[in-house]
Structure 1
Amino acid sequence: MDPQLPQTVDAYLERIGATRPTRPDAAALRELQLRHLTTVPFENLSIHLGENIVLEEQALLDKIVVDRRGGFCYELNGAFAALLRALGFHVTLLQARVHGDEGRLGIPYDHMALRVETDDGTGPWLADVGFGDHAQHPLVLGDRTPQRDPRGAFRIVRAPVEGGEDYGDLDVLRDGLPQFRLDPRPRALADFRGGAWYHRTSPDSGFTRSPVCSRFTTTGRITLKGHKLLTTVGAERHETRLDSDEEVLAAYREHFGVSLDRLPAEGGAGVSVTNG
């Protein structure tokens, strides 16, 4: 995002209900991440609508700001990185592998996260608006002690070296359970094309199995999976069955601000992945 285009920045800030920060400090980063999490949904609907997804900065901004949609990690963190840079933050894209069942690691470029430097001498910070149910606030990337967050106790530790060279990988844990393994080397947006292609096409990817749309709330989380609306408030979980297509489309609009003219298909719809 060109920092000389304030109207683009202002439109993004309006989208997430935030004001332009006076300086790129930790307090501003914290507020921007929270606003993003509570307004822009984590969703994989493009896969199930047959929509093209372009891993190019302007296309991501158009989707989130102009079309008022969400996305998954590559889209959400890619666009958020552009906003932060335009506001004066120094941002580096990082790749991560998600810890799955039985401790298995996902593919390289499984996830995108952000290393953010502020002008107040704190950090650097691990910011993330694209991992679904994760930390509400940015985490101090260099802190190896538990970090308290409204969503749990997070800890960033050195990952074990399992053969090959040691690049200083880090495991991000939530309440003692590993979430993803972070590679600290800087990456470019185009580097994530392979991971994005896998998650849009592979039957082994959870994203191709069914449509999902989810966002943070001030008290928990709200998620729409197919015809099921799931609401979490603290430790309580409520499920509502939506019987008609009209009810599902209305739920997308009401709870996520997403206006669709048709329901996403239950299976992937042959989406292509390009880089612009």
Structure 2
Amino acid sequence: MDITSYLQRILFSGPIVPDIQTLIAIHEQHIYQVPFENLDIRYNQLFSLQLEKVYEKIVTQMRGGFCYELNLIFNWLLNKIGFSSKLISSRIFDDAGNPGPEFDHMLVHVKTDKEYLADVGYGDLFIRPLEIRAGVQSDGRNFFKIEKYNDENFLLSMSPNGIKFQKKYIFNLMHVTPDAFEEICLYKQTNPESYFVKNTICTKPTKTGRVTIFNNKLIEKTTSRRFEDIITDENHLKKLLRTKFGIELGLSM
């Protein structure tokens, strides 16, 4: 495991120093280059939270991954560069407005001269890290608010226009280790009621919009248009993964 290969994987070529400019740049590059995807679940292959195996998948095999994988390896990269960063937990709000269980989602808390929230594993959220402070922030696409939820937790909300905000998740700044996520990670991979067992997802933003595979559809969106195509069979799916995401699935899939 080395950071040079990792930085090449995300096409980052800037200065490697632990400052806010570098944090913003590598966060953006990670989001643009490494898709959120649950293809292992589709092909009945359990993924691991062992750091070496995640590195092999994301960096060597040029795959994407799940929130636990993506933020786990991103935190490792930040630490190697010299950032003060740690893993933290969050609870994602469901459609009824209720927060999920603890360890529902993994995040990264980063300290420079200020404190930041990093998340390269949500699927469709902020492109740039957010400062943990009151007030509205923008990543150039959407607007975000971080505010106190209760004595222990913060609330992250998102808006397309800076006016009407939707609750995304609550989080606290307590450091947690990867093993704390293992039980719910296994549930999301194996339980028939899990959203990620029921659905196949591969998505990443582009400079002008987003490209997504959702079950049997390819969806490409820009600021001015939306294109959908039906995925006809397994060969068609693998071709789209290769051409749209740079993912070459192994023979076992």
TM-score (norm 1): 0.85
Structure 2 residue aligned with 1:185? 174
Unaligned runs of 5+ in 2: 160-164
Structure 2 residue aligned with 1:40? 34
Quick one: which of 39, 50, 53 aligns to 2:44? 50
Structure 2 residue aligned with 1:135? 126
Structure 1 residue aligned with 2:204? 215
Q: Distance in 2 between matches of 1:197 and 1:151?
A: 33
Q: Distance in 1 between matches of 2:122 and 2:176?
A: 18
1:260 Cα offset (Å): 1.8
Quick one: which of 149, 152, 165 aligns to 2:139? 149
Structure 2 residue aligned with 1:9? 3
Structure 2 residue aligned with 1:171? 155
**Counterpart secondary structure, 1:104:** coil
**Counterpart secondary structure, 2:172:** strand
Letter in 2 for 1:252: L
Letter in 2 for 1:57: L
Please say if residues 249 and 263 of structure 1, whose CA atoms lie closer than 8 Å, have aligned partners that are also in contact.
no
Q: 1:259 to 1:113 in 2, by over 3 A?
A: same
Please say if residues 188 and 195 of structure 2, whose CA atoms lie closer than 8 Å, have aligned partners that are also in contact.
yes
Query: Aligned pairs, how many?
Result: 248
Of residues 198-207 and 61-70 in structure 1, the stretch that sits farther from structure 2 once superposed is 198-207
Quick one: which of 239, 243, 247 aligns to 1:258? 247
Q: Distance in 2 between matches of 1:22 and 1:229?
A: 36
Quick one: which of 106, 110, 113 aligns to 1:116? 110
1:243 Cα offset (Å): 2.2
Please say if residues 9 and 62 of structure 2, whose CA atoms lie closer than 8 Å, have aligned partners that are also in contact.
yes
Structure 2 residue aligned with 1:227? 216
Report sequence identity in percent: 32
**Counterpart secondary structure, 1:156:** strand
Q: Distance in 1 between matches of 2:193 and 2:236?
A: 30
1:20 Cα offset (Å): 5.2
Q: Deviations over 1:131-180 (max 9, x none)?
A: 11101110001x110012223110001114xxxxx4x2011000111000
Q: Which runs of 4+ in 1 moved over 3 A?
A: 261-264
Q: CA RMSD in A?
A: 1.6
Please say if residues 87 and 108 of structure 2, whose CA atoms lie closer than 8 Å, have aligned partners that are also in contact.
yes
Q: Distance in 2 between matches of 1:214 and 1:247?
A: 16
**Counterpart secondary structure, 2:110:** strand
1:19 Cα offset (Å): 1.8
Letter in 1 for 2:158: R
Structure 2 residue aligned with 1:273? none
Quick one: which of 127, 151, 158 aligns to 2:148? 158
1:204 Cα offset (Å): 2.9
Quick one: which of 78, 89, 97 aligns to 1:84? 78
Q: Distance in 2 between matches of 1:88 and 1:200?
A: 33
Q: Distance in 2 between matches of 1:136 and 1:260?
A: 26
Q: Deviations over 1:87-142 (max 9, x none)?
A: 11111111000001111111211100110122xx2x2110110011101110001x
**Counterpart secondary structure, 1:185:** coil
Unaligned runs of 5+ in 1: 2-7, 161-165, 265-276
Of residues 254-263 and 64-73 in structure 1, the stretch that sits farther from structure 2 once superposed is 254-263
Please say if residues 74 and 112 of structure 1, whose CA atoms lie closer than 8 Å, have aligned partners that are also in contact.
yes
TM-score (norm 2): 0.93
Please say if residues 77 and 112 of structure 1, whose CA atoms lie closer than 8 Å, have aligned partners that are also in contact.
yes
Of residues 240-249 and 53-62 in structure 1, the stretch that sits farther from structure 2 once superposed is 240-249
Structure 2 residue aligned with 1:105? 99
Higher normalized contact order (CA 8 Å, seq sep 6+, divided by chain length): 1
Quick one: which of 201, 221, 235 aligns to 2:190? 201
Q: Distance in 2 between matches of 1:9 and 1:80?
A: 10
Please say if residues 83 and 110 of structure 2, whose CA atoms lie closer than 8 Å, have aligned partners that are also in contact.
yes
